[in-house]
């Protein structure tokens, strides 16, 4: 049995089962296509894989242990599983999702959770739209913000990738999977090129091999535009 993320707060086991049931109900009512959940979530329910992926647990544990004084915005959050874990364990979290179907489902899950845990309303923001333009006016900027990219292999074109990287200076930190950022990079040479490209604009840059064995995370820090004016 998995242990709780934080003693005395909402445990991983509970959220894993709760989200699995919520996703299953949406699929049963609307179907994979209409709901926008598509095969990714449908197969997880069919295989009884739980509501949270293994990498989401690993990233959540890292952030809860190391970034409790930061606000975390996960870009490409799907149904908001990771932000929900963080918010219900005391952190301020946001999730951004550009697919309309998944965004609607994420709203339903958030509303359902808020009836059990009203505190989530003050801790979890759901933002619908594409990155980086959808962050404008949301308040998700500043030295205390971490932009998190766990699985954004959406085949971005060069322009969107460039705009995304340029926007990193509006956050204090960026943590991303080098393999799954904008497009899939299966070769280490491709991941290294992305790391070097972002590092050239950052204050510090480091690989995070111990975060999870199944991914290729890196962490970058930035001097935000707001702090550079002071």
Task: Please state, in angstroms and rounded to a whole number, the distance separating the CA atoms of residues 113 and 7.
Answer: 20
In a domain, 115, yes or no: yes
In a domain, 14, yes or no: no
> Is 230's pLDDT higher than 60?
no
In a domain, 136, yes or no: yes
Dihedral, CA of residue 100, residue 106, residue 107 and residue 111, to nearest 10: 170
In a domain, 161, yes or no: yes
150-160 pLDDT tens trace: 999 878 999 99
Number of independent structural domains in the chain: 1
| Average of per-residue pLDDT across 198-218 | 95
Site of tokens 């899950």: 109
What is the predicted pLDDT for the residue at 147? 98
18-46 pLDDT tens trace: 888 888 888 888 877 777 776 777 777 77
In a domain, 3, yes or no: no
Task: Please state, in angstroms and rounded to a whole number, the distance separating the CA atoms of residues 230 and 226.
Answer: 7
What is the predicted pLDDT for the residue at 123? 95
Host domain of residue 71: 55-228
Q: What is the number of other CB atoms lying within 10 angstroms of the CB of residue 191?
A: 19
In a domain, 48, yes or no: no
CATH of the domain at 138: 3.40.50.150
- Given a contact cutoff of 8 angstroms between Cβ atoms, the answer to whether 135 and 106 are in contact is no
In a domain, 137, yes or no: yes
> Is 171's pLDDT higher than 90?
yes
Task: Please state, in angstroms and rounded to a whole number, the distance separating the CA atoms of residues 58 and 166.
Answer: 28
Output the pTM of the full model.
0.89
70-106 pLDDT tens trace: 999 999 999 999 999 999 999 999 999 998 888 988 9
Task: Please state, in angstroms and rounded to a whole number, the distance separating the CA atoms of residues 2 and 116.
Answer: 22
Give ∠ CA 219-223-228 in degrees, rounded to 5.
175
> Is 4's pLDDT higher than 70?
no
In a domain, 11, yes or no: no
């Amino acid at each position: 049995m998995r242990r709780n993320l934080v003693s005395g707060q909402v445990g991983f086991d509970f959220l894993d089962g709760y989200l699995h049931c919520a996703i299953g109900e949406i699929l049963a009512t609307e179907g994979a296509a209409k709901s926008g959940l598509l095969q990714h979530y449908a197969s997880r329910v069919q295989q009884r894989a739980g509501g949270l992926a293994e990498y989401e647990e690993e990233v959540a544990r890292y952030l809860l242990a190391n970034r409790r004084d930061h606000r975390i915005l996960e870009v490409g959050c799907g149904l908001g599983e990771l932000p929900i874990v963080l918010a219900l364990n005391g952190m301020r979290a946001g999730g951004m999702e550009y697919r309309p179907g998944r965004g609607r489902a994420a709203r339903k899950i958030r509303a359902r959770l808020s009836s059990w845990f009203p505190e989530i309303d003050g801790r979890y923001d759901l933002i619908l739209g594409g990155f980086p333009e959808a962050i404008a006016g949301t308040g998700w900027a500043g030295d205390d913000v971490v932009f998190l990219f766990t699985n954004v292999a959406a085949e971005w074109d060069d322009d969107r990738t460039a705009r995304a990287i340029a926007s990193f200076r509006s956050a204090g930190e960026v943590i991303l999977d080098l393999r799954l950022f904008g497009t899939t990079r299966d070769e280490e040479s491709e991941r290294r090129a992305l790391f070097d490209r972002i590092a050239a604009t950052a204050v510090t840059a480091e690989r995070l091999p111990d975060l999870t064995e199944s991914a290729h995370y890196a962490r970058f820090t930035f001097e935000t535009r707001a702090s550079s004016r002071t």
